[in-house]
Amino acid sequence: MSDAAHMSRAIRLAERARYVSHPNPAVGCVVVKNGEILAEGHTDVAGKGHAEANALKAAGSAAAGSTVYVTLEPCSFQGRTPSCAHALVDAGVKRVVVATLDPDERNAGAGIAVMEEAGIEVTVGVLIDSAMSVMRGHIKRHTKRRPWVRLKLAMTLDGKTALANGESRWITSPAARSDVQKYRAMSAAIVTGVQTVIDDDPRLNVRAEELDVALADIAAAVDRPVYVLDSKGRLPVDTALRSRDSTVVVSGEAANGDLILPLNGGRIDLEALLDELAAREHSEVLFECGATLAGALVAQKLVDELIIYVAPKLMGGDARSLLNFPEVDRMCDLAELVINDVRQIGPDIRITASFLESKQS
């Protein structure tokens, strides 16, 4: 099999890890000897084995003289776990094929240097784009000091998200709501607004029984903080999110929140929020919120990826619209998107899109 074929397998392992590896990047690794796969591994939950360590452990002494395929440059430093680059040297690996270099300034080529200085042949760049797409949050956080921002929305065919009185349960089908679970699971944190909590009292948790991925039970057990933006201290005391230890209420100085951030026009400064989330090692963040917060994110060009569920229903009248943001005066000023994927989820349609221009990019 070719380098690309083995790296493709490593990327599939990385995709499995993306639901459990926070705050570490999701990495896959395959150990090959004499054309046969000896062992493989992926990043475990924080504090446990990295992909290379897990694969080498499975291979044992047979790893000597092997070729190792890994989706991200092995780490050269010791953090929660030992250095993977040194582990590959100690295992007697002959060759290492790396998809992409690590943008983490603690590594950033140092892992390659460790291996080459020890006499290991290193090849870099095999299936680089595919590998980077799995760890784009890690790349964004270390190059832009911002997390990868997903905005999840649900609407009817006429672009409505709730009745005029705020009622929105349920616009989409059970299948679509279950599909959302994987986006929650691949996120290091979830963000919502206080009005959404008042209107819907959501839990915003990952439910293993609805998560159709490998390692669903482990993914559901990962502690993902939920940040509630509440600039004026309006969050009710009897909400479901109040009962979670990992809920973080974000407010301005005048309110008694868990996290105090500057305000912009009376609302939480979203750029300051994203800076703080990146500092807290949240590489991928999912916003599940109402039209006002969603509109502010779009207006400020802070969204990397839009996930829109469209239900075959109509609301009409004074029902609430998808986004609240300033109307433009010229057609040339319209926000333009690229549709990356469209697929049916039960009776609904899921659209995945990105903006042609984003301050995040």
**Which residues are catalytic, by number?**
52
Q: In what order do the strands lie in the sheet with 148-156?
A: 259-260, 247-251, 226-229, 189-193, 284-288, 148-156, 305-311, 348-355, 337-345
* Contact in structure between 143 and 129 (CB atoms under 8 Å): no
Neighbours of 265 (CB within 10 A): 8
> Which residue has tokens 């956080």?
141
Question: What is the three-class DSSP state of 304?
Answer: coil
Classify strands 259-260 and 263-264 as parallel, antiparallel or unpaired: unpaired
74-78 contact pairs (CB < 8 A, 24+) = 74/50, 74/98, 74/111, 74/114, 74/115, 75/50, 75/102, 75/104, 75/106, 75/107, 75/111, 76/106, 76/107, 76/110, 76/111, 76/113, 76/114, 77/106, 77/107, 77/110
346 conformational bin, left if phi > 0, alpha if psi -120 to 50, beta if neither: left
